[in-house]
Chains A and B, each alone.
Chain A
Amino acid sequence: MDKAVKIEVKHLNFYYGKFQALHDNSLDFHINEVSALIGPSGCGKSTFLRCLNRMNDLIPISRVEGNLLLDGLDIYDPSVDVVMLRSRVGMVFQKPNPFPKTIFENVAYGLKVNGIKNKGLIEKRVEESLKLAAIWDEVKDRMHESALGLSGGQQQRLCIARALAVEPEILLMDEPCSALDPIATQKIEELIHQLKKSFTIIIVTHNMQQAARVSDITAFFYMGKLIEVGKTNTIFTRPNLKQTEDYITGRFG
Chain B
Amino acid sequence: MAKHFFRELEKIKKRILSLGAMVEERVRMVIKALETRDGDAAKKIILSDHEIDEMEVEIEEECLKILALYQPVAIDLRFLTAVIKINNDLERIADEAVNIARRVRIIAKREKIDISFDYSLMAGKTEDMLKKSLDALVNLDIDLAFKVCGLDDEVDKMQSEAYDRIKQAIGEYPDRVAYLINLLLISRHLERIADHGTNIAEEVIYLIEGEIVRHGNYL
Most buried by A among B1, B2, B75, B76: B75
Chain B CB within 8 A of A128 CB:
no
- List chain A residues, Cβ under 8 A from B209: 238
Distance of A250 Cα from B210 Cα, bound (Å): 19
Chain B CB within 8 A of A236 CB:
yes
- List chain B residues, Cβ under 8 A from A209: 71
Distance of A100 Cα from B72 Cα, bound (Å): 42
Q: How far is the CB of B65 from chain A (nearest CB, A)?
A: 17
On whether the beta carbons of B5 and A250 are closer than 8 Å, the reply is yes
On whether the beta carbons of A248 and B2 are closer than 8 Å, the reply is no
Q: How far is the CB of A11 from chain B (nearest CB, A)?
A: 29
Q: How far is the CB of A220 from chain B (nearest CB, A)?
A: 11
- List chain A residues, Cβ under 8 A from B73: 208, 212, 236-237, 248-249
Chain A CB within 8 A of B105 CB:
no
In the complex where A250-B5, A251-B2 touch, is A245 in contact with B71 (Cβ < 8 A)?
Answer: no
Which chain A residues in 204-253 approach chain B with CB under 8 Å? 208-209, 212, 236-239, 245, 248-251
Chain B 176-219 per-residue mask, 1 if CB under 8 angstroms from chain A, else 0? 00000000000000000000000000000000011100000000
On whether the beta carbons of B74 and A245 are closer than 8 Å, the reply is yes
- List chain B residues, Cβ under 8 A from A237: 73-74, 77-78, 210
Q: How far is the CB of B163 from chain A (nearest CB, A)?
A: 41
Distance of A237 Cα from B2 Cα, bound (Å): 18
- List chain B residues, Cβ under 8 A from A236: 73-74, 77
On whether the beta carbons of B2 and A245 are closer than 8 Å, the reply is no
Interface size class of B (residues with CB under 8 A): 10 to 19
In the complex where A237-B210, A238-B210 touch, is A249 in contact with B72 (Cβ < 8 A)?
Answer: yes
Distance of A248 Cα from B76 Cα, bound (Å): 10
Closest to A239 in B: B74
Distance of A249 Cα from B210 Cα, bound (Å): 15
Q: How far is the CB of B208 from chain A (nearest CB, A)?
A: 10
Distance of A249 Cα from B76 Cα, bound (Å): 7
- List chain B residues, Cβ under 8 A from A239: 74
Distance of A190 Cα from B131 Cα, bound (Å): 48
Distance of A35 Cα from B66 Cα, bound (Å): 28
Chain B 68-96 per-residue mask, 1 if CB under 8 angstroms from chain A, else 0? 00011111111000000000000000000
Most buried by B among A208, A212, A250: A250
Closest to A238 in B: B210
Most buried by A among B2, B71, B74, B75: B74
Distance of A208 Cα from B70 Cα, bound (Å): 11
On whether the beta carbons of A249 and B71 are closer than 8 Å, the reply is no
Q: How far is the CB of A95 from chain B (nearest CB, A)?
A: 25
- List chain A residues, Cβ under 8 A from B211: 238
In the complex where A250-B2, A250-B5, A251-B2 touch, is A238 in contact with B78 (Cβ < 8 A)?
Answer: yes
Distance of A251 Cα from B74 Cα, bound (Å): 12
Q: How far is the CB of B121 from chain A (nearest CB, A)?
A: 39
Distance of A249 Cα from B74 Cα, bound (Å): 7
Distance of A12 Cα from B95 Cα, bound (Å): 60
Q: How far is the CB of B194 from chain A (nearest CB, A)?
A: 28
Q: How far is the CB of A176 from chain B (nearest CB, A)?
A: 20
Q: How far is the CB of A3 from chain B (nearest CB, A)?
A: 25
Chain B 1-19 per-residue mask, 1 if CB under 8 angstroms from chain A, else 0? 1100100000000000000
Distance of A164 Cα from B210 Cα, bound (Å): 40
Distance of A248 Cα from B209 Cα, bound (Å): 17
Distance of A212 Cα from B77 Cα, bound (Å): 13
Closest to B81 in A: A237
Closest to B5 in A: A250
On whether the beta carbons of B75 and A245 are closer than 8 Å, the reply is yes
Assuming A212-B73, A237-B210, A248-B73, what are 12 further A-B pairs, CB within 8 angstroms?
A: A236-B73, A236-B77, A237-B73, A237-B78, A238-B74, A238-B209, A238-B210, A239-B74, A248-B74, A249-B75, A250-B1, A251-B2
* A interface, CB within 8 angstroms of B: 208-209, 212, 236-239, 245, 248-251
Q: List 12 A-B contacts (CB under 8 A).
A: A236-B74, A236-B77, A237-B210, A238-B211, A239-B74, A245-B75, A248-B74, A249-B72, A249-B75, A249-B76, A250-B2, A251-B2
Q: Which 7 A-B pairs have the closest CB atoms?
A: A238-B210, A250-B2, A236-B73, A245-B74, A248-B73, A249-B76, A249-B74
